């Protein structure tokens, strides 16, 4: 499932070599330029006095309407055999499974750190206002982050790399290109006078490297992008409405050491823990397929 091919007429020498590079570069450009354009659009709405929710909607719609069609055109132009996004019953279950695994790992994180005395939950905050905020943010996260990013980076970019590279090299190259997206967008923002977005530091780069690898493992395990999309959305909601302790949040917790939530639970258990589990599942799946073929 992890191997991508082109139609026979594209698989000849120099034509095939050009194809894998074109697919990879175009997929990366679609994500990078789409995200930058969405940032510009959001900044224009902000300058005109638009509310935060309006800015979020404009950015999400801009990113989705630019990146998703671009991915479709790239796939159609090069006639990739990889079926990236059909929402079949199995794919729907993959999406639910990806989201559920993120929620379970987040819950496990609080159980482990609570048992060790590192975190203590002091209050729960269930309300209709919170549910509406989570529902709205889930839609934004799906359109602005999860869907475009998974289609372009774990979808088209990785598919292009696999036409030329073995899986381990394609993994590494995809993750490096993934890290390069926010770096490039930040630089484009600076050149255009908008100002840089999120701070790019060593901790952020390490998180992206692990996060990109973990999400790619979902595609390798399931053969589709829906599991990584489901995990991606659920992870963002956990970070925003649980870990980061914003005004609207599901619960309030205290930490024995400052940063336990973001570092131990969000990064160590949800991201790294999920990556380790997915590596084991992929190895088990490969062994089963090898045994079945003998």
pLDDT in tens, 136-159: 999 999 999 999 999 999 999 999
Q: How far apart are CA 129 and CA 99, in angstroms?
A: 22
Output the CA torsion sign for 72, 31, 147, 153: positive
pLDDT of residue 264: 96
Containing structural domain, residue 172:
8-98+127-250
pLDDT in tens, 241-274: 999 999 999 999 999 999 999 999 999 999 999 9
Helix (DSSP H) and strand (DSSP E) numbers for the chain: 10, 2
Residue at 113 is within a domain = no
- Estimate to the nearest angstrom the gap between the alpha carbon of 188 and the chain centroid: 21
pLDDT in tens, 4-39: 555 444 444 444 557 899 999 999 999 999 999 999
Residue at 267 is within a domain = no
Beta bridge partners of 253: 121
The total of structural domains in the chain comes to 1
Tokens 């073929």 map to which residue? 293
Residue at 276 is within a domain = no
Residue at 48 is within a domain = yes
Residue at 279 is within a domain = no
The DSSP H or E segment spanning 214 is helix 202-222
Beta bridge partners of 124: 251
Torsion of CA 34, 39, 45, 46, to 10 degrees: 170
pTM beyond 0.85: the answer is yes
Residue at 104 is within a domain = no
Residue at 283 is within a domain = no
Q: How far apart are CA 172 and CA 162, in angstroms?
A: 11
Contacts 24+ apart (CB under 8 A), 83-86: 83/224, 84/151, 84/155, 84/156, 84/159, 84/224, 84/225, 85/151, 85/155, 85/224, 85/225, 85/226, 86/224
Residue at 94 is within a domain = yes
């Amino acid at each position: 499932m992890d191997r991508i091919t082109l139609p026979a007429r594209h698989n000849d020498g120099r034509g095939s070599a050009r194809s894998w590079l074109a697919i990879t570069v175009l997929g990366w450009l679609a994500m990078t330029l789409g995200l930058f354009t969405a940032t510009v659009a959001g900044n224009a709405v902000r300058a005109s006095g638009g509310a935060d929710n309006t800015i979020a909607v404009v950015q999400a719609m801009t990113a989705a309407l630019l990146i998703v069609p671009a991915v479709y055109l790239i796939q159609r132009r090069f006639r990739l055999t990889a079926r990236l996004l059909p929402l079949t019953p199995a794919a729907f279950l993959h999406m639910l499974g990806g989201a559920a695994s993120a929620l379970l790992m987040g819950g496990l994180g609080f159980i482990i750190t609570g048992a060790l005395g590192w975190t203590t939950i002091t209050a729960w905050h269930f309300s209709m206002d919170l549910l509406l905020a989570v529902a709205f943010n889930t839609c934004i996260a799906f359109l602005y982050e999860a869907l475009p990013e998974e289609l372009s980076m774990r979808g088209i970019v990785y598919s292009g790399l696999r036409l030329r590279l073995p899986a381990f090299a394609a993994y590494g190259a995809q993750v490096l290109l993934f890290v390069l997206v926010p770096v490039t967008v930040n630089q484009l923002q600076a050149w255009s006078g908008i100002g840089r977005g999120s701070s790019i530091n060593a901790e952020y780069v390490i998180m992206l490297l692990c996060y990109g690898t973990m999400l790619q493992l979902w595609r390798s395990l399931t053969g589709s992008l829906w599991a990584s999309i489901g995990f991606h959305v659920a992870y963002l909601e956990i970070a925003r409405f649980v870990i980061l302790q914003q005004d609207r949040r599901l619960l309030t917790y205290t930490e024995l050491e400052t940063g336990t939530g973001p570092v131990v639970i969000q990064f160590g258990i949800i991201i790294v823990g999920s990556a380790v589990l997915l590596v084991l599942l992929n190895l088990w799946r490969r062994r089963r397929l090898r045994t079945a073929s003998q």
